[in-house]
A and B are shown apart, each in its own frame.
Chain A
Amino acid sequence: MLRAHGVHASAGARILIRALALSLEPGTVTAIVGPNGAGKSTLLRGLAGLAPLQGDVQLDGHALTSVDARTRARALAYLPQRTAVSAGLTVRDVVRLGRLPHRGRFAGLSEADHAVVDASLQRMQVERFADRPIHTLSGGERQRVMLARMLATEAPTMLLDEPTTALDVRHALDLLRTLRALADEGRAVLVAMHDLTHADAFAHRVVCLHADDQGTVTHGPTAEVLTPARLQTVFEVPFIRDGEGRLRVCVDR
């Protein structure tokens, strides 16, 4: 399990994050929200162990920086904002790369590896086009393949950086439902996202980066963090909660 406290990040003179404490519990979806440039990607990359992050980040009780890369890769699956896949790689090739942290340098894929790859393809319902080149897929299909690649690592914690940005609203909702289902199966999911109504609907907990240059961060259960008053302050956009308690954005021309 990934736990962090005293996390601090800055960009030049601007403090992005001050004294954030966070622990990613199995079975929960945690959303990171905040305006552009608030430090969502910085935080996510740091928690994934891919960029330095000030503060105490622990993976299963060990300092993340001291964990060797393969062990880390088996515990934390990470999806960057954009994945530029080399031409010619098929869906199956991509998902097989998820087994990399489980294989020795010169070892091929074992029976068990193939079984996990097949299961991951099936779980994400992409086995139909397993042998198609990835660049022939639509955006929604592509992201499902990326999720299958993450599942193939068998990592209990999944970190995703704006996975729905390139998707239309139906496919975005499909993806978020899938993430929620993966959490329900016992994984911890941390996802940076822009759409606050989506965060409200799908996340158990929310980390809101205020982007106020003081490093203010609000973190807690979704309904407590995503209040119309706070969103007005942070995003300068009016939100309301409707009769059923759902977050709504008030759009004015």
Chain B
Amino acid sequence: MNRTRVALVGGVLGLLAALWLALVIGPGGVTSADAWTVLLGGQTSDMVRALVWDLRLPRALLAVVVGASLSLAGAVTQGLFRNPLAEPGVLGVSAGAAMAGAIGLAAGVDAAGPWAVGALACVGAVAVLIALMAWARADARLSTLILCGVAIASVCGAITTLVLSFGIERWEVAVKVVRWLMGSFEGRSWTHLGVGAGALGLGITGAAWLRRDLDALGLGAQTAASLGVDLRQTWRGGIAVVGLLAGVCTALTGVIGFVGLVVPHMARAAVGPGHARLLPASALFGGALVLMVDLVTRSVDTLALPPGALTSLLGTPVFLIVLWRLRAEVS
């Protein structure tokens, strides 16, 4: 077996194993047999059914969907910006989504329905991407794009803090916004999963449509254009895919950084730089990784550890390693 196949089989097995653990780990004494019975629609106690079907399965699947979405968004972003450090979290796209969502929540748009905050988050993500793209077209160097993302992220963070400080007078609003910003997989239902899976489906379709254009961009924008790639269309498509995925993920589970950076690098090492393989491998590895992160946060059950905090703790060293390996190119 070659490396690609080993990695893909390993990814699938890891994902299945983590899914299984997600159903049986935790209080309530759910056994493997119980979990099977519930999945196959057999008779069990109401408590076991509630634990497995209503709580654990949607939560686990949502972690997979969010991980896959963020990793796919990261892989598309890296191809689009031709920048191995690009990722919705690093570039401030998630911060833009969080800011837009927080403003919306503080203004009470969630009264219109749970979709409203998600839609606003997507708008925030797309706005940041458009600003970045304008910058990247004027100056394509690796480091300036990242610095631009850092600046955008800090502005968005500052505005989010302002929103919170205005909202502090109304305690319940502030708590709502903070809770949303911290994010969690806790208490997520089949409805949340449906929204996430729908966005992921659209994202996968868009990414598949873009894959040859992203391959061609590997030779630079000029060469890609000379090979018949419509750059404007590719950038628009890429912004739509990344904005949708990052926006919906942020709305569902808060800002989860670095997954989109780290996972495409793992996938590239396993299956190479061609996007036909890189994109699905990123989605697979990302789904498995975030589910495992959620298993860890769940087993520390005294704390409500936001998944974004853990991915940042784990992801920052990897970011620095990539930066170190690229130091010649970045300077």
Instruction: Report which A residues bind B (CB closer than 8 A).
Output: 45, 48, 50, 69-70, 72-74, 76-80, 82-89, 93-94, 97-98, 100-101, 103, 105-106, 108, 149, 153
Contact = CB atoms under 8 A, between A and B. Distances in A.
Contacts of A97: 215-216, 218-219, 227
A76 B276 CA distance: 26
Interface in B208-253: 208-209, 212, 215-220, 222-223, 225-230
Nearest to B329: A87
Contacts of B209: 105-106
B206 interface: no
Contacts of A105: 209, 212
B223 A78 contact: yes
17 contacts: A73-B226, A73-B228, A74-B228, A76-B226, A78-B223, A78-B226, A80-B222, A80-B223, A82-B220, A86-B217, A86-B273, A88-B268, A97-B215, A98-B227, A100-B229, A101-B227, A105-B209
- In this complex, which of B218, B223, B230 has the most chain A Cβ atoms within 10 angstroms of its Cβ? B223
Contacts of A77: 226
Contacts of B273: 86-89, 93
Contacts, number: 74
What is the size category of the interface that chain B forms with chain A? 20 to 34
Contact of A69 (B223, B229, B272, B274): B229
B11 interface: no
A50 B222 contact: yes
A73 B228 CA distance: 5
B84 interface: yes
B82 A73 contact: no
Contacts of A93: 218, 272-274
A72 B219 CA distance: 18
A87 B264 CA distance: 13
A78 B229 CA distance: 13
A225 B74 CA distance: 53
